[in-house]
């Protein structure tokens, strides 16, 4: 976040509701599945003085999966095959919270830090589904139209060692109608999006990214996967349209395909039971975003007299 010294700081945020659906797709082992997801997210933040801003991002996501198995299966002690012996999971609940801070360093540099916390588990899961981490990013405003940043993140993983990953930030207005921007959350995944439009009322987007969710399974399965871990990953490529309603309020509609997808099931100690790629998965989604802010009397004016 960069401050414009000619305007007052404000405590402000956004609320976003979304829906997405992945159409039926086959695994390499012959099974198939489809899914849908609904979500609500919000962010809120503002200044505590002229150089430090505090905020928090929160979100809840409900995902439902419907598997169609290729035939009757005997439940083995450990899968060890390319076919699923049973439905690996059903509904997944994911809750995110990420307190964050921005420190402004002069007019062109800023430092961001966050402590993301995530719970993700199948409905009915009783074992721990919490992960947590820390991320830090240094941003540089090179010009009015170009900002870059680099950082590092560390996040724990269910029944696995923690993961360290690089963070790259780009916000580049290549022209008055064309913008390249990276987006993502503090936990897992992100994307790069190219946005074009003759004005702010409507813009077309082309994006590519990476998605991963790793979650705790319930205790209703076979002995092999009871209280185990599920994971689904993909690389979505999407095109979309953004309709600006007013100020920072907008409606997004997108269609695309998830490439390089993989389903994985592990036991309660993180040992692999099943890991199989699935075919490119057609997908569709929409989000609705509304801004909000505190009343004017709560704003911090950097130009106010001391």
Contact 40, 288 (CB under 8 A): no
pLDDT at 2 over 60: no
DSSP annotation string for 118-134: EEEEETT--S--EEEEE
CA 196/CA 182 separation, integer angstroms: 15
Q: pLDDT per residue over 172-209, tens digit each?
A: 999 989 999 998 766 667 899 999 998 889 999 999 99
Is residue 2 assigned to a domain? no
Number of H helices, E strands in the chain: 0, 16
DSSP letters spanning 243-257: EEEETTEEEEEEEEE
**Gap between the Cα atoms of 140 and 257, Å rounded:** 33
SS3 296: helix
Whole-number pLDDT of residue 296: 62
Radius of gyration of the chain (CA): 21
Model confidence pLDDT, tens digit, residues 10-23: 899 999 999 999 99
pLDDT in tens, 129-171: 999 999 999 999 999 999 999 999 999 999 999 999 999 999 9
Q: Which helix (H) or strand (E) holds 245?
A: strand 229-246
Task: Give the pLDDT score at 3.
Answer: 40
With 50 as the cut, is the pLDDT of residue 305 above it?
no
Place of tokens 């405003």: 141
Determine, yes or no, domain membership for 305: no
Please tell me the distance from the alpha carbon of residue 118 to that of residue 259, in angstroms, as a whole number. Answer: 25
CATH number of the domain bearing residue 138? 2.40.160
CA distance 43 to 97: 10
Q: What average pLDDT does the segment 263-285 reach?
A: 95
The reply to whether 185 falls in a domain is: yes
Distance CA 22, CA 25 (A): 8
Cα separation, 144 vs 147, in Å, equals 8
Look at residue 5 and tell me if it is in a domain. Answer: no
Burial class (CB in 10 A: 0-12, 13-18, 19+), 4: exposed
The region that residue 29 occupies, defined by phi over 0 for left and psi between -120 and 50 for alpha, beta otherwise, is alpha
Would you say residue 253 has pLDDT above 90? yes
Residues with Cβ within 8 Å of residue 19, at least 6 apart in sequence: 36, 37, 38, 39, 285, 286, 287
Q: Establish if 4 belongs to a structural domain.
A: no
Three-state DSSP state, 1: coil
Please report, for residues 103, 112, 175, 246, the alpha-carbon distance to residue 200 in angstroms, rounded to integers and kept in the order given. Answer: 30, 28, 13, 10
Give pLDDT tens digits for 40-95.
Answer: 999 999 999 989 999 999 999 999 999 998 765 555 556 777 778 778 999 999 99
Is 7 part of any domain? Answer: no
- Is-contact 232 260, C-beta < 8 A? no
Range of the domain at 209: 12-298
Inside any domain, residue 1: no
Domain count, the chain: 1
Task: Note whether residue 178 is domain-resident.
Answer: yes
pLDDT of amino acid 304: 44
């Amino acid at each position: 976040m960069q401050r414009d010294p000619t305007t007052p700081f404000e405590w402000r945020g956004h609320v976003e509701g979304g829906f997405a659906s992945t159409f039926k797709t086959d695994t390499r082992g012959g099974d198939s599945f489809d899914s849908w997801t609904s979500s609500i997210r919000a962010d809120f933040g503002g200044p505590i003085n002229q150089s430090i801003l505090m905020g928090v991002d929160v979100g809840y996501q409900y995902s439902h999966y419907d598997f169609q198995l290729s035939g009757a299966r005997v439940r083995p002690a450990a899968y060890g095959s390319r076919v699923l012996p049973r439905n690996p999971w059903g509904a997944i609940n994911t809750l995110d919270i990420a307190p964050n801070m921005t420190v402004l360093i002069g007019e062109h540099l800023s430092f961001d830090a966050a402590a993301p916390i995530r719970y993700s588990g199948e409905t009915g899961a009783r074992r721990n589904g919490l992960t947590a981490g820390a991320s830090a990013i240094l941003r540089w405003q090179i010009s009015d139209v170009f900002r870059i940043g680099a950082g590092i993140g560390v996040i724990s993983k269910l029944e696995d060692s923690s993961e360290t990953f690089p963070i790259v930030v780009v916000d580049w207005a290549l022209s008055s109608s064309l913008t390249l921007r990276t987006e993502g959350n503090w936990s897992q995944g992100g994307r790069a999006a190219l946005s074009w439009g003759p004005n702010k009322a409507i813009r077309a987007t082309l994006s590519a990214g990476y998605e991963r969710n790793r979650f705790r399974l319930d205790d209703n399965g076979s002995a092999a996967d009871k209280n185990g871990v599920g994971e689904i990953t993909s690389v979505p490529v999407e095109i979309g349209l953004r309709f600006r309603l007013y100020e920072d309020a907008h409606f997004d509609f997108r269609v695309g395909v998830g490439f390089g997808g993989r389903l994985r099931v592990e036991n309660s100690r993180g040992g692999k039971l099943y890991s199989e790629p699935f075919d490119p998965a057609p997908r569709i989604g929409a989000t609705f975003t509304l801004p909000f802010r505190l009343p004017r009397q709560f704003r911090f004016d950097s130009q106010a007299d001391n």
